[in-house]
Amino acid sequence: MRQMQVKEKEIEKKRMEVQSLQGQLEALRERHTVLRKEVEILQNQIDECSVKKDRAGKLLNGLGGEKQKWLVCNRMIDKRFVTIQGDVLLGAAFITYLSPFSQKFREKACEKWSDIITQQEILI
């Protein structure tokens, strides 16, 4: 009888251990589920970032060609702006003073004015 009581106590002790282990197992399963969801969310964010990175790379590559275009345009504008003062001066004088005169007289006056502007070291 005594042996039976001892065995029953051991069985009860083992049941308590099993119950405790089942509780721990359930907590670990819940934690595992939560962590899986976090991993899934992070994986989705990684995928989104990869897509954004690819798009940004394509955009930058496209803008690289645009940069070249702007550099060429900028050089062309720089070349034209070198003579803008002389061009504006000659154009304003032409419109202001020469509009009532004949074409021949206008051409001669423009040649003289061009020479004067050039002597003043203003580019035309």
pLDDT number for residue 78 = 85
- 120: alpha, beta or left? (left if phi > 0; alpha if psi -120 to 50): alpha
CA distance 119 to 112: 11
pLDDT number for residue 28 = 95
Render pLDDT for 22-73 as a digit per residue (tens, 0 to 9): 999 999 999 999 999 999 999 999 999 999 999 998 888 888 778 888 888 9
pTM, whole model, 2 decimals?
Answer: 0.46
Cα-Cα-Cα-Cα torsion 95, 99, 103, 105, nearest 10 degrees, comes to: -90
Render pLDDT for 101-120 as a digit per residue (tens, 0 to 9): 999 999 999 999 999 999 99
Strand blocks (E) in the chain: none
Render pLDDT for 3-18 as a digit per residue (tens, 0 to 9): 888 888 899 999 999 9
Nearest residue to 84 via CA among 106, 108, 117: 117
